[in-house]
Amino acid sequence: MLDQIPTAFLFFAAAIAVIAVPKGPIRSSFMLLVPIIAGYQVWNLDAGISNQVEFFGFTLDLMRVDKLSRAFALIFTLAAFLGNLYAWHLRDTVQQVAALIYAGSAIGAVFAGDLITLFFYWEGTALASVFLIWARRSEGSYNTGMRYLIIQIASGVVLLAGAALVYRETGSITFENMTLGSLGTWLIFLSFGVKAAFPLLHNWLQDSYPAATITGTVILSTFTTKLAIYALARGFAGTEILIYIGAIMAVFPIFFAVIGNDLRRVLSYGLNSQLGFMVVGIGIGTEMALNGTAAHAVASVLYQSLLFMSVGAVLYRTGTSKATELGGLYRTMPLTAIFCMVGAASISAFPLFSGFVTKPLIIDEAGAGNYPIVWAALIFASAGVLLHSGIKVPFFTFFARDSGLRPKEAPSHMLLAMGFTAAISIYIGISPNFLYSLLPYDVEYHPYTTGHVVGQLQLLLFALLAFGVLMRTGIHPPEIRAINLDTDWTYRRFLPNVIGTVARSMSKIWALNSTFWHRTISSVISRLNNSHGPEGRMAQVWPTGSMVLWIAILLGITLIVNFVS
């Protein structure tokens, strides 16, 4: 019975039912039960296509199950459970309903077998997730949410347009691997790229995630971008341009993250960089590279959530996530500090942590595939991520200085969520075979070889040494209270300046034009008044009788003209 219901519908039904459940522990328990049931269902689903429905003459495939979709659906259900456990204290119906619909839409999109079904769920993630930003209930979060919503809805509109063109060209709406050879496929590619935060299309991520609620940021970090990674892996595996797009994505966020002050924004850049590794794997398109993409997506969901959870717990207790206002919190928040370091070690790919057994699947394929520049970029990005997410976040939060803050340890449910996430990250790092068994293709890879371990430790130790030298010599960018602009410079500075300059120029032109015509018309009126006014020359020279005579003459001429015509 359970396997006949689309997994997404379980979350949608729960979103409706949660309104009737009393706020408090009962509702929070219900929120935990839903992803557990969904995870059990996904684990036991048979491969194939089911739940087909007719829609305006189209056959929609609501449940296409294979190893790729199952891997992403499983990590999404796990992330939904961990996110709801972290948000146990919430009594906000808006956030709770939005979180359920958001998770359900993401899972529904993963199982979508056609482009129309994908579109509906694609837009569902946009509409639901924006409430996690608006739930902060401030003017800034409202404005950020509007920007986020415009971009996400636009992504869906572009997807729909691309799907319509593909249907016109091929007669099929099946969501399958495509080639960039038509306007329709390019539009679909662009739509996926927006959600995947491609370069120049990425700033919505760093703009919106830090603006969300404490729990909302944790949930946002899981679904939208990883759904885009799944969509690219399903639709554009082996598309070579993705290799170079991904390499740029992996590298450029490092520089913004290093100078960032808001640690949630720093982590957003770190997330953007990790997406670049996955995009490279999709572009390479070999079985091992796609395995690496799926594996790294799973690991990334866990360690990114863990890092956002730890910074969120600090924000919950101190009211700030700014590096300039934090430090020394290990004294009163030791468990949160430990969990943060586990997340830092995982994202940095230290041996025995999850990133160590997933990231090399992609990097090694880049090296084996004769992409030396891309391989070097990924190695550089691996060292860079240690600098910002691996060192900067825990160092400036818990150890750099004594900020004087003495907050309580994080609430027990937050610690429990962080503990579970950290334990899974360590388990994957120690015993990767379980994760490998869930990947789309058979895996023959042994991460714990002497060469791999020694090489990775050399890279990490070099990055640690570089950080120490930069800090001791004062070259490392200091933590300052500032807002660092990215591509948002275009709409925060450039466009307002252009619009302001144009507006001022038009105002001056209008003023000059108005002054010219005002003077010209005034001069004409003045001259007419001087000649024909009551005191004008004409009134002084011509007597009234002459005027009457001329009027009679004019009337006579008019009558003659009318008679002749």
**Following DSSP, what letter does each residue of 459-490 receive, concatenated?**
HHHHHHHHHHHHHHHT-SPP--S----STTHI
At residue 289, does pLDDT exceed 70?
A: yes
At residue 452, does pLDDT exceed 70?
A: yes
**Predicted local distance difference test score (pLDDT) of residue 539:** 58
Both 245 and 226 in one domain: the answer is: no
Tell whether 556 is covered by a domain.
Answer: no
Q: Bridge partners of 49? A: 64
Tell whether 170 is covered by a domain.
Answer: yes
At residue 541, does pLDDT exceed 60?
A: no
Both 203 and 102 in one domain: the answer is: yes
Both 180 and 201 in one domain: the answer is: yes
Both 166 and 263 in one domain: the answer is: no
Domain boundary among 216, 235, 254: 235
Total tally of structural domains belonging to the chain: 2
Sign, CA dihedral 499-500-504-507, equals: positive
H helices present in 112-196, as ranges? 115-134, 139-170, 183-195
Tell whether 162 is covered by a domain.
Answer: yes
Q: What is the mean pLDDT of residues 301-313?
A: 96
Both 133 and 215 in one domain: the answer is: yes
Residue range 56-95, pLDDT digits in tens: 888 999 999 999 999 999 999 999 999 999 999 999 999 9
At residue 449, does pLDDT exceed 80?
A: yes
Both 401 and 445 in one domain: the answer is: yes
Both 435 and 400 in one domain: the answer is: yes
At 185, give phi and psi (nearest 5°): -70, -35
Tell whether 527 is covered by a domain.
Answer: no
Give 174's Cβ-side CA count (13 Å radius): 8
Tell whether 564 is covered by a domain.
Answer: no
Q: What is the mean pLDDT of residues 22-50?
A: 92
Domain of residue 180 covers: 1-235
Residue range 502-539, pLDDT digits in tens: 888 888 888 888 888 888 888 877 776 676 666 666 55
Both 224 and 246 in one domain: the answer is: no
Both 420 and 337 in one domain: the answer is: yes
Prediction pTM value:
0.87
Q: What is the mean pLDDT of residues 474-478?
A: 65
Residue range 97-133, pLDDT digits in tens: 999 999 999 999 999 999 999 999 999 999 999 999 9
**Predicted local distance difference test score (pLDDT) of residue 517:** 83
**Predicted local distance difference test score (pLDDT) of residue 308:** 96
Q: Please state which of the ranges 82-86, 104-108, 193-197, 396-400 shows the lowest mean pLDDT.
A: 396-400
Beta-carbon neighbour count of residue 105 at 10 Å?
26
Tell whether 308 is covered by a domain.
Answer: yes
Q: What is the mean pLDDT of residues 436-444?
A: 91
Both 375 and 476 in one domain: the answer is: yes
Comparing 446 with 489, the larger pLDDT belongs to 446
Mean pLDDT value across the chain: 89
At residue 563, does pLDDT exceed 80?
A: no
Domain boundary among 487, 515, 540: 487
CA 397 – CA 403 distance, rounded (Å):
9
Tell whether 495 is covered by a domain.
Answer: no
CA 206 – CA 74 distance, rounded (Å):
26
Both 308 and 420 in one domain: the answer is: yes
152, amino acid identity: Q
Both 16 and 165 in one domain: the answer is: yes
At residue 411, does pLDDT exceed 90?
A: yes
Residue range 151-164, pLDDT digits in tens: 999 999 999 999 99
Domain boundary among 422, 456, 487: 487
CA 500 – CA 497 distance, rounded (Å):
5
Tell whether 544 is covered by a domain.
Answer: no
**Predicted local distance difference test score (pLDDT) of residue 190:** 96
